Structure formats: structure tokens, C-alpha cells
Amino acid sequence: TGAIEVVEINLEKLFSDSESGTLKPAAAYERICGITPPEMQAGGDMALDGGEEWVWFRVGKEEASKHLPGGVEIAKPFGPRNMGAGPAGIAGMNIHTGEIKYVVSVPFQVGHIQSNPWMPGQIVFCWETGGKAPQRTWIVNADGSGLRPLYPESEYEWITHEAVISPDEVALAILGHRPIPGVEGESRPEGTDVKGANPGQETAWGPSG
């Protein structure tokens, strides 16, 4: 991580030239919108805002810690993959001017940054652990206000693969691969034995999966 280029690609021109057999070098279809400041340690998670003026990206621990309110407890790694520790943050770049603005810091690892295509200025992201998280889905406004869990989950729920599907709807998966205490029965089919290939069957994630 470090400084990254935000690049706009003219797909209409690219596809047209591809169809006509007149492809040019990559630079002919690219426009560099800007370069993120190295000190922000920008990551690859990136999403174009619904208003198509800003692109949101992940910020590294050092920069995120500067914007985190005092007294906030920093999350430790969660689960057997040793991921999820914070802090992390989200910032944005104006794709027309290159302007950078900071959005929010959180005490955990950020992943899966998305925008709401119907609602400019609305950002959805997750607490990334590589598997089950204590609270997977989050939402925040582009001005940093309104930070909250998107789907408040229980200890025994494994939430993943969230996706904005309408102006006010998000689809997500709630996984359950192990028996839940108190609901076992002879008529219930057994789970598929994947011998550790499926993280949802690793007990180290806790009472979920």
C-alpha cells in the first residue's frame, strides 16, 4: 500500500476500437484522475460514488489513527485468519479535480467498500476478518456522519457478501453450516463434510457458521 493512481478508462472508445480491430496502447484509453497521498497508505478497496464525482478508498492504520476519536478501543484480530484488527478508515478523491477528503475512521479493518448507486454520498463497507466478524456490515455518509451497523447481527450469525441492490435495500448472506444447540433432530440432513475447506465449519470463529 502507499500512493495509488485513480484511473478512469474510456470503455466506449476501447470497445469500439476493439470491435474495429484498431486497438491502441492502454494509455490512449486512460485518464489519471489523481494520485493518493503516500501517507494515507491507500488500499485497493475502492468504489465510485453514486454521483460519479468521488471515488472512495481504504486508508491505512497510521492515517486512520489520526482521525479516530479519543478513547475508542482498537479491535484486535478476530478468528483463525488473524485479520480484522484496526484502526482503518475511508477517504475520497474527486475524479474531476483530484481533491482528497477524509470520510471516517473506525477501530477495525475495513473491506468491501461500496457505494449506493441510487443515493450519492452513501457508503457501505465491512469489518474484514476473512470470515465471520463481530459486526460485519456498516454504513456511513460521505461527510462522515451517520456511522452505524447496517445489519446489527447476533453472536451466532455469520454475515457475508453484502451488496446494495436498490435505493434502500441491501442483500446479504446469513450462513449456517453447523448444528445450532437445541434444534438438532433426526429428520435434519447432515452438513457436507468438507474437511476444513470451508471456513464456516471452523469452530475457532465462535458459535456461528
Residues 6 or more apart whose Cβ sits within 8 Å of residue 161:
172, 173
Please tell me the predicted confidence (pLDDT) of residue 2.
75
Please tell me the predicted confidence (pLDDT) of residue 118.
98
Domains and CATH numbers, the chain: 5-14+26-205 (2.130.10.10)
Tens of pLDDT, residue by residue over 160-185, are 999 999 999 999 998 765 655 666 66
Q: How large is the average pLDDT for residues 68-81?
A: 92
Residues 6 or more apart whose Cβ sits within 8 Å of residue 52:
95
pTM over 0.75: yes
Task: Give CA–CA dist 52/195, Å, rounded.
Answer: 45
Please tell me the predicted confidence (pLDDT) of residue 56.
98
Is 112 in contact with 128 (CB distance < 8 Å)? yes
Tens of pLDDT, residue by residue over 18-36, are 999 999 999 999 999 999 9
Please tell me the predicted confidence (pLDDT) of residue 152.
95
The amino acid occupying position 62 is: E
Please tell me the predicted confidence (pLDDT) of residue 131.
87
> Is 102 buried (19+), middle (13-18) or exposed (0-12) by CB count in 10 A?
middle
Q: How far is CA 30 from CA 9, 27, 132, 158, 165, in A?
A: 5, 5, 38, 40, 29
Q: Is the pLDDT of residue 138 over 80?
A: yes
Is 4 in contact with 38 (CB distance < 8 Å)? no
Closest of 158, 48, 41 to residue 109, by C-alpha: 41
**Could you count the other beta carbons within 10 Å of the beta carbon of residue 50?**
19
Please tell me the predicted confidence (pLDDT) of residue 178.
60
Tens of pLDDT, residue by residue over 40-63, are 999 878 999 999 999 999 999 999
Give the count of alpha carbons within 13 A of 199, CB side only.
12
